[in-house]
Amino acid sequence: MADYTQLDQLIIGKIYSGAKSFAAIDNGDVYLEANRLHVETGRPAFRIIDGRLQALREKGLIIFDYKRQWSIV
């Protein structure tokens, strides 16, 4: 089982620093960590990032709306 703790922290940090869209989140350190997890799990990096965004949303740490896109709760 993969450990997504580091990726979750990177995603939250990106959103906190102003990244609102998936394209703005899916780059830099977040992409590098997701790519590392891709090698470990075989899942595509963008699917890993999307899955973690949804998991963080379900935990109530972030929200998505069409006007503001991704933001910290």
Task: Specify the CATH number for the domain of residue 49.
Answer: 1.10.10
pLDDT at 2: 84
pLDDT score of 1 more than 90: no
pLDDT score of 42 more than 80: yes
Q: What is the pTM of this model?
A: 0.94
Structural domain harbouring 37:
5-72
Rounded-to-10 torsion of CA 33, 35, 41, 45 = 110
**Count of structural domains, the chain:** 1
Q: Are 48 and 56 in contact (CB under 8 A)?
A: no
pLDDT digits (tens, 9 = 90+) for 52-69: 999 999 999 999 999 999
pLDDT score of 9 more than 80: yes
User: What are the angstrom distances between the C-alpha of 59 and each of 8, 28, 67?
Assistant: 11, 24, 21
Alpha helices in 1-73 (DSSP H): 5-16, 22-25, 28-41, 45-58
pLDDT digits (tens, 9 = 90+) for 18-37: 999 999 999 999 999 999 99
